[in-house]
Amino acid sequence: MLDNSALHKKVKSILYSLTGITLSENKDIMIANRLHKLKRDTKYSGDIEELLEAIEDGEYQMEFINSFTTNKTHFFREDFHFTDLINRVLPEFAKSGKDIKMYCSASSTGEEPYSMAMTVLEAQETLGKKINATILATDIDTNVLQYAANGIYRYSKSSKEFPQWIKPQKYFKRRVQKTLANEEILIKVKPELQKMVTFQVMNLNDPTYPYEKNYFDVIFCRNVLIYFSTPDQNKILKKLFNHLKMGGTLYLGHSENPHDLINYVQRIGQNIFIKTKELP
């Protein structure tokens, strides 16, 4: 029988091989809680050690991944990226009439890609021109993708989530339901927003990505690299970069770093990078 330390070592090794996520030291309480939840979700009748063996043999892998991802997000997180999108990127596409292809590479419960979509619709209205935008949103966690595709969120009027230039009632319908705790209500994304976003499951740790080279005009890769080791962050960044067009924009999370891409980009703002050169 494995002791706790050996059990946690096994969890870390399985998580790394399935997702590339590296769990740092002092995550014992988190691992214990998530293992407990995993056992409940899978309704596995044996003990945790047997469950981990079953996962290593290929069973319950989706449930394992879904239990061990951290999905914290909110609408217009790091809103200066959306300000850059509306002020600098989108006017070009409104002017040229060219399609804009955007990619949200760790979309969690959907707030980030829907914020991208609201920014496009807002730009369209301000500029008085149609913008043909598509947004691909991927994540490794199938539960959050399902949640995102449903597009139902809790909202409180006192929330500071939305910037001043976004009126949530333009983009969400109130669900007929009693007010929840803390004056919260349920809101549902309107169809015009929903139809701009396609959700798909994708593992950033896969050796290659199923997209054309130089396909995207904009890539959001925010608050996900932090879960990977520096060498693995570099690998992911390089794979993503191959699918970004020359002159396209890469947005990274506030504590993330472009590492080896630094000589191939121009930094134009807080973790905003324009592709200036192809990788060798």
Q: Which is nearer to ligand SAM, 17 or 266 (CB)?
A: 17
Within positions 159 to 218, which residues make up the interface with ligand SAM, using CB under 6 A? Answer: 202-205
Per CB under 6 A, contacts with ligand SAM among 138-167 are: 139-141, 144
Near ligand SAM by CB under 6 A: residue from 7, 11, 15, 21:
21
From the CB of 145, what's the least distance to ligand SAM, in Å?
9
Q: Does 122 bind ligand SAM (CB under 6 A)?
A: no
Residues 240-269 that bind ligand SAM (CB under 6 A): 253
String of DSSP letters for the chain: ---HHHHHHHHHHHHHHHH-----SS-HHHHHHHHHHHHHHHT--S-HHHHHHHHHTTSSHHHHHHHH------TTTTTHHHHHIIIIIHHHHHHH---EEEEESS-TTTHHHHHHHHHHHHHHHHHTS---EEEEEEES-HHHHHHHHHTEEEE-TT---S-TT--HHHHEEEPSS---GGG-EEEEE-HHHHTTEEEEE--TTSSS-SS-TT-EEEEEE-SSGGGS-HHHHHHHHHHHHHTEEEEEEEEE-TT---GGGGGGEEEEETTEEEE-S---
Instruction: Give min distance, CB of 77 to ligand SAM, in A.
Output: 5
Q: Cβ neighbours of residue 222 under 8 Å, at least 6 residues apart?
A: 77, 78, 81, 106, 112, 251, 252, 253, 256
Number of residues in contact with ligand SAM under rule CB under 6 A = 25
| Shortest spacing between CB 37 and ligand SAM, in angstroms | 15
- Of residues 84, 139, 141, 217, which has the active-site annotation? 139
Annotated active-site residue 154? The verdict is no
Among this protein's residues, is 77 annotated catalytic?
Answer: no
Residue 70 contacts ligand SAM per CB under 6 A: yes
Looking at 20, 110, 151, 258, which residue binds ligand SAM (CB under 6 A)?
20
Among 39, 55, 63, 73, binds ligand SAM (CB under 6 A): 73
Is the Cβ of residue 94 or residue 119 nearer to ligand SAM in the bound state? 119
Residues 84-113 that bind ligand SAM (CB under 6 A): 106, 108, 112
Site residues, ligand SAM (CB under 6 A): 19-21, 69-73, 77, 106, 108, 112, 139-141, 144, 202-205, 222-224, 227, 253
Catalytically annotated residues: 34, 139
